[in-house]
């Protein structure tokens, strides 16, 4: 029997997200993304389907690679306008009891000290149901608009990310000891200052000498999500991520990725089974295969050719507007999402620009499953068996119709087959996902910062150590 299947909902605080043009459909709700009711209704819906979380993507910047202009993105509403994702955590949490809320935030555009306070606050307010999707960003427009001359090189962005999470681990795990918060009304003592420490971080990219502003939240460090698929991204994911997301239409590429991540996690001393890997996918389903196929064909009439290529150009850094529809995708060295370029130019499938736009017009870069509940369930189980992913990060075609269809048709079929949950575990998001405690395990690199005084002594010794002179 196939191992259990897990679902996340893949969303973004914008119109359409991965299906540009479908906001025009009369049944679509994504045009109302500015309303809290959109998000609270979505949260309640997903919880009826026992989704692990709603995973909210984000970009800082805009898609101006296609045709060398922002105009196509503005005309088609392609991830612009886009609102802040972290502010959605509280209303979704208030409308639900169990659903996790994964928030995307970039290590390239916000200082770790202030971000640590925002993330701890969200973890407090949601009673420990927040996850952080760690991204390094890929849009040059974002870098320009915060005063940088441009994006750092791809691998250097991961060097910055490694130090960024080190600062957060020190703040979350080491600044406030267990037992530091007393709340002693009799003695009038809220906290014990001897158990609250400056982190004394002095690194290549960040200097953070002081204390974390927040007392420890239910998870201390929220659940760590990550979606990097380049060499640097995979190394980072294997070292840090608890939930990993991959976007490729090919089972072979997905299986190779999963094997590599699990092997690297084991080599880093982590339990590879405690790294949950979700493949992005889109499901179009109905009572029968024929009804599902007709629904998909209806959706396609609303998909935007230019909108799809706006996304593809932004993700890859390649201006597909320079090519004819019949031209094929070639590998080009860029500073954007390297894995996206590799997937599209791998040689396993030759893509024309027109095919790329048609495929990417609904659901983005993951596989598309169209059919009845039984047909889709068969396909999902095949992917699980052949790739060893743990679940699927589901994009939508129509908000919230796509998720309602999955919950109404596919979830009961998977439950009938014994491969999908029918209840949530109690506790924080980390406890629901892994069945252990609310904190990161001792095998995670964050654990080494729990004795922050010892860490500071070791770092001070390393800074003052003078290399021995070389001998002839």
Q: Is 304 annotated as a binding residue?
A: no
DSSP-assigned beta bridge partners for residue 368: 282
CA distances in angstroms from 128 to 14, 179, 320, listed in the order given: 25, 18, 42
- Alpha helices (H) along 280-410: 289-300, 305-316, 338-344, 353-360, 373-387, 401-405
Structure tokens at 173: 């795990």
Structure tokens at 442: 């001792």
Q: DSSP letters along 288-321, please?
A: SHHHHHHHHHHHHTT--HHHHHHHHHHHHS--GG
Residue 157 near residue 236 (C-beta atoms within 8 A): no
Distance CA 52, CA 46 (A): 9
> Coil, strand, or helix at residue 286?
strand
CA 107 to chain centre: 13
Distance CA 322, CA 327 (A): 10
For 166, other C-beta atoms within 10 Å of its C-beta total 21
Distance CA 253, CA 187 (A): 61
Helix 154-169 vs helix 112-125: angle between axes, to the nearest 10 degrees? 60
Q: Is 230 annotated as a binding residue?
A: yes
How is residue 217 annotated by DSSP? P
**Which of 102, 92, 81, 75 lies closest to 7, judged by CA?**
102
**Which of 205, 245, 204, 202 lies closest to 223, judged by CA?**
245
Q: Is 217 annotated as a binding residue?
A: no
Structure tokens at 239: 């070292």
Annotated binding site for FMN: 58, 104, 154, 158, 230
Please enumerate, by residue number, every residue annotated as part of a binding site.
58, 104, 154, 158, 230
């Amino acid at each position: 029997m196939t191992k259990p299947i897990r679902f996340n909902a893949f969303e973004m605080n914008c119109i359409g997200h991965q299906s540009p043009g479908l906001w025009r459909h009369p049944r679509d709700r994504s045009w109302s993304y500015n309303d809290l009711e959109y998000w609270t209704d979505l949260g309640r819906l997903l919880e009826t389907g026992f989704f692990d979380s709603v995973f909210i993507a984000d970009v800082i910047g805009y898609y101006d690679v296609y045709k060398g202009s922002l105009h196509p993105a503005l005309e088609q509403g392609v991830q612009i306008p886009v609102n802040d994702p972290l502010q959605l955590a509280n209303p979704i949490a208030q409308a639900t009891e169990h659903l996790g809320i994964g928030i995307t935030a970039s290590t390239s555009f916000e200082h770790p000290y202030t971000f640590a306070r925002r993330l701890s606050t969200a973890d407090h307010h949601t009673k420990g149901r927040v996850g952080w999707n760690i991204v390094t960003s890929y849009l040059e427009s974002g870098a320009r608009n915060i005063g940088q001359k441009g994006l750092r090189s791809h691998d250097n962005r991961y060097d910055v990310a490694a130090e960024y999470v080190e600062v957060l681990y020190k703040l979350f795990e080491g600044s406030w000891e267990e037992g530091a918060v007393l709340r002693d009304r009799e003695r009038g003592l809220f906290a014990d200052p001897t158990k609250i420490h400056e982190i004394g971080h002095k690194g290549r990219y960040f200097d953070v000498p002081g204390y974390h502003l927040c007392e420890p939240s239910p998870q201390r460090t929220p659940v760590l999500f990550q979606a990097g698929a380049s060499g640097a991204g995979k190394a980072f994911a294997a070292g840090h991520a608890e939930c990993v997301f991959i976007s490729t239409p090919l089972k072979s590429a997905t299986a190779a990725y999963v094997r590599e991540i699990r092997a690297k996690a084991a080599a880093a001393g982590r339990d590879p089974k405690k790294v949950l890997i979700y493949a992005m996918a889109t499901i179009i389903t109905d009572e029968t295969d024929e009804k599902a196929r007709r629904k998909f064909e209806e959706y396609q009439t609303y998909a935007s050719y230019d909108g799809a290529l706006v996304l593809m150009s932004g993700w890859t850094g390649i201006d597909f507007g320079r090519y004819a529809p019949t031209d094929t995708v070639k590998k080009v060295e860029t500073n954007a999402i390297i894995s996206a370029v590799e997937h599209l130019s791998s040689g396993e499938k030759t893509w024309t620009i027109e095919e790329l736009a048609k495929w990417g017009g609904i659901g983005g870069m993951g596989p598309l499953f169209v059919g009845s509940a039984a047909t889709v369930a068969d396909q999902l189980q095949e992917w699980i068996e052949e790739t060893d992913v743990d679940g699927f990060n589901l994009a939508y075609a129509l908000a919230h119709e796509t998720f309602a269809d999955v919950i109404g048709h596919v979830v009961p079929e998977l439950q009938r087959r014994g491969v999908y949950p029918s209840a949530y575990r109690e506790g924080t998001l980390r406890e629901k996902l892994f069945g252990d405690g609310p904190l990161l395990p001792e095998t995670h690199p964050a654990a080494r910062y729990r004795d922050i005084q010892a860490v500071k002594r070791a770092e001070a010794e390393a800074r003052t150590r003078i290399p021995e002179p070389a001998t002839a």
